[in-house]
Amino acid sequence: MSNIFFSYLYEMKKWFILISLNYIICSCSGSKNGMASTENNPTVNDTIRIVNDELEYEIIIIEPGFNSWLLATAKPRNYYDQSYLENRNRIWVVNYNQRVFDHNRYDPMLYEMQIDYQNNINYGYEVNYILYNYFVYFQQKYKQKLGGFEPRL
């Protein structure tokens, strides 16, 4: 049951990109390229927070199992170039968003909130890398296909 919220909230000159499970966490403070974790809470253990102060974008993913999957399964950073990641993300975001509005065909518990990923904004490599890998994880875990191609590992 994944609940994705990807928005561009303009607050204190920060753009937030949020992906969460069952709740949303927004934070205006934090460290660059930080990762939050707490031993006693498996959801917090799987919280990934990427901050790019130069570009003023942030991505937060709260999804049990994603952090472990990212560390163990995903291709290393710089395996794919930013252009490749952006192209896949654009396609997957469009398909994901179409499903948000089609509750008759798609599980509203998986597709609750629209993702606002703007093609004309350079989110930087790290944000695209994490979003790309989240979509790969999402498609594998929930047996979904968001594009005309299989997610590559």
Q: What number is the average pLDDT over the span 29-38?
A: 36
Residue 135 three-state SS: helix
On whether residue 79 sits in a domain, the answer given is: yes
Asked if residue 68 belongs to a domain, the reply is: yes
User: What pLDDT sits at residue 87?
Assistant: 94
Cα-atom radius of gyration of the chain, to the nearest Å? 15
Q: Please report whether residue 149 resides in a domain.
A: no
Phi–psi pair at 66, nearest 5 degrees? -65, -45
pLDDT in tens, 12-30: 333 444 444 333 333 323 3
- What pLDDT sits at residue 54? 67
pLDDT tens per residue across span 39-62: 444 444 667 776 666 656 667 777
Provide the whole-model pTM: 0.70
Which structural domain, as residue segments, surrounds residue 17? 3-141
Q: Are 124 and 52 in contact (CB under 8 A)?
A: yes
Cα 135 from Cα 2, distance rounded (Å): 11
In a domain, residue 147? The reply is no
Phi, psi of 141 (to 5 degrees): -65, -45
- Residue 70 resides in a domain: yes
5 or 46, which is more confident: 46
* Length reported for the chain: 153
Phi, psi of 111 (to 5 degrees): -120, 75
As for how many domains the chain has, the answer is: 1
Q: Is residue 121 part of a domain?
A: yes
**Is position 25 within any domain?**
yes
Q: Is residue 148 part of a domain?
A: no
pLDDT of residue 63 exceeding 70: yes
Residue 128, CB-side half-sphere exposure with 13 Å CA sphere: 23
Q: Which residue has the higher pLDDT, 31 or 132?
A: 132
pLDDT of 118 higher than 70: yes
Residue 100 identity (one-letter amino acid): V
